[in-house]
């Protein structure tokens, strides 16, 4: 079992917006990992679209990502996906 924790700053100008959040959930849903996102004291299930959207993580918020899974490559995939979807600027995302 691998457990990776990482702090990520939301770099997407729109925060955790609907479309990237949906893409993220769709992707991690297929992975055999558990994803927990922590914002200050609050922890949510990273596979829950409703929890993600209502977390209120705006541009610049620091989130702690906790991913656990049997397969390290899948764990890393989930971490990458988060950075990819929320770490980028929206312009790049739309292209």
Partner 1 sequence: MNEIVLKGIPASSGIAYGPAFILDKGEFIVPERVILEHEVDSEIARFEQAVNDTRHEIYFLKEKIKQDLGEKQAQIFDAYLLVLDDPALFEQVDQGIRQNKNAAEYIFLKVIKQHAQSFSKIKDEYLRERAGDLNDIAQRVLKHLMDESKLHDLDNLQDDLVIVAHNLSPSDAVSLYNKKIIAFVTDIGGPTSHTAIIAKSLGVPAVVGLKDSTLRITNDDYLIIDGQKGLVIIHPTQHTKEFYSKEHSQIRASLRRLEELKGLPAQTIDGKKIALLMNIGLANEVPSVKKFGAEGVGLYRTEFLYMNRLDLPTEEEQYQAYRQAVEVVSPYPVTIRTLDLGGDKFISSVQIPKEMSPFIFKTQLRAILRASAHGRVQLMYPMISGIGELRRANAILNEVKNNLHQEKIPFDSKIKVGVMMEVPSAVMTAEVLAKESDFFSIGTNDLIQYTLAVERVNEKTAHLYDPAHPAILRMIQKTVDAAHSEGIQVGVCGEMASDPTMALLLIGLRVDELSMSSSSILAIKKMVRSLRFSDIQSICQEAMQLTTGQEIQEFVLLQMQKLGVQ
Contacts of 87 (CB under 8 A, 6+ apart): 8, 9, 10, 11, 12
Measured from the CB atom, is 22 or 66 closer to partner 1?
22
- Decide whether 53 or 66 has the Cβ nearer to partner 1: 53
23 near 62, Cβ under 8 Å? no
Choose the catalytic residue: 12, 17, 47, 77. 17
Contacts with 16 (C-beta within 8 Å, 6 or more apart), sequence order: 10, 52, 53, 55, 57, 86
Nearest approach in angstroms of CB 55 to partner 1 is 9
Regarding 63 and contact with partner 1 (CB under 8 A), the answer is no
Q: Is 49 in the site for partner 1 (CB under 8 A)?
A: yes
Among 10, 12, 20, 25, binds partner 1 (CB under 8 A): 25
Decide if 17 is catalytic: yes
* Residues catalogued as catalytic: 17
């Amino acid at each position: 079992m691998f457990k990776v924790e990482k702090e990520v700053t939301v770099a997407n100008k729109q925060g955790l917006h609907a479309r990237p959040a949906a893409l993220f959930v769709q992707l991690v849903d297929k992975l055999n990992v558990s994803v927990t996102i922590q914002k200050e004291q609050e922890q949510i299930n990273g596979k829950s679209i409703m929890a993600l959207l209502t977390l209120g993580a705006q541009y610049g918020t620091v989130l702690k990502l906790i991913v656990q899974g049997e397969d390290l490559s899948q764990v890393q995939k989930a971490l990458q996906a988060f950075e990819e979807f929320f770490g980028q600027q929206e312009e790049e995302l739309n292209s």
